[in-house]
């Protein structure tokens, strides 16, 4: 991927997208790590939530179940995955709004959301796109808003490192190397977020997924 010109589909090739939900639920302990992400944002009872790189909207729907009063939007660049998402939303009688756009230039106003979630998307982006996507997340969040990220993190042991080569062979080494080095918190901090922490590691059949959080601190006005 060069700079800001394109995106990598959910499983790299469009023809694999139809198998995405099955692979996630079978090999990635999907409900476990997505539940950790949701628990991490529960305290604020967020009312406006954006799920970027929403894919087939499994996380967006879990968020809607957890916060039925919230106004939720899912953003993704891929029309193929959004078509699958749309069918799932209709079946679930969901009110989630879908936006087709790229994460590094979102057609959304600033200071809109209490929470932005980002699950398994950052490892699709090269370093430049990771940085600009996280800056966009900072921009669209309200002051005191939270970013909650679930993505491939530093492997918790040698076996986790070995199996993660399978993901790297599929998704490419350029976009995944910062993940495996444990550099995602530093990307989140550089975008302006404070109190960045890794909340939990979840080991899966394909590697270690880390849950990270950061805060958009409100700027104090000194009179």
Ligand X SMILES: C[S@@+](CC[C@H](N)C(=O)[O-])C[C@H]1O[C@@H](n2cnc3c(N)ncnc32)[C@H](O)[C@@H]1O
> How many chain residues touch ligand X (CB under 6 A)?
23
CB-wise, 53 or 155, nearer to ligand X?
53
Nearest distance from C-beta of residue 222 to ligand X, angstroms: 37
Nearest-angstrom CA–CA distance, 142 and 44: 13
85 binds ligand X (CB under 6 A): no
Exposed, middle or buried: residue 135 (CB in 10 Å: 0-12, 13-18, 19+)?
Answer: middle
Residues numbered 97 to 126 that lie near ligand X (CB under 6 A) are 102-104, 119-121, 124-125
Residue with structure tokens 């944002």? 41
Taking the least distance from each CB to ligand X, the nearer of 129 and 180 is 129
Dist CA 48 CA 126 (whole Å): 28
Q: Which stretch binds ligand X (CB under 6 A): 49-57, 175-183, 205-213, 214-222?
A: 49-57
Q: Does residue 137 bind ligand X (CB under 6 A)?
A: no
Q: How many CA atoms lie within 13 A of 4 on its CB side?
A: 12
Q: Give ∠ CA 212-122-175 in degrees, rounded to 5.
A: 125
- Cα Rg, the chain, nearest whole Å: 16
Would you say the C-alpha torsion 37, 113, 123, 67 has a positive or negative sign? positive
Minimum CB separation of residue 223 from ligand X in Å reads 41
CB of 23 to ligand X, least distance (A): 10
**By the rule CB under 6 A, 155 interacts with ligand X:** no
What is the Cα–Cα distance from 140 to 196, expressed in whole angstroms? Answer: 18
Does the protein bind ligand X through residue 213 (CB under 6 A)? no
Residue 59 near ligand X by CB under 6 A: yes
Q: Which residues bind to ligand X, rule: CB under 6 A?
A: 7-10, 24, 53-55, 58-59, 76-78, 81, 102-104, 119-121, 124-125, 129
């Amino acid at each position: 991927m060069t700079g800001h010109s394109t995106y990598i589909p959910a499983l790299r090739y469009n023809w694999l997208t139809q198998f995405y939900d099955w692979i996630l639920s079978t090999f990635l302990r999907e409900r476990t790590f997505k539940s950790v992400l949701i628990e991490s944002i529960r305290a604020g009872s967020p009312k406006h939530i954006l799920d970027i790189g929403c894919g087939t909207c499994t996380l967006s729907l879990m968020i809607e179940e957890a916060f039925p009063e919230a106004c939720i939007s899912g953003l993704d660049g891929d029309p193929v995955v959004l078509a699958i998402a749309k069918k799932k939303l209709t079946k679930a009688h969901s009110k989630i709004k879908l936006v087709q756009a790229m994460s590094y230039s979102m057609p959304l106003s600033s200071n809109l959301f209490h929470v932005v979630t980002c699950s398994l998307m950052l490892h699709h982006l090269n370093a430049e796109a990771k940085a600009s996507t996280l800056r966009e997340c900072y921009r669209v969040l309200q002051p005191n808003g939270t970013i909650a990220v679930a993505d491939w993190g530093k492997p918790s042991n040698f076996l986790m490192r070995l199996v993660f080569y399978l993901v790297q062979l599929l998704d490419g080494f350029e976009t995944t190397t910062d993940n495996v080095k444990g550099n995602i918190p530093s990307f989140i901090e550089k975008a302006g977020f404070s109190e960045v922490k890794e909340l939990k590691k979840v080991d899966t059949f394909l590697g270690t997924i880390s849950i990270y959080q950061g805060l958009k601190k409100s700027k104090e006005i000194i009179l």
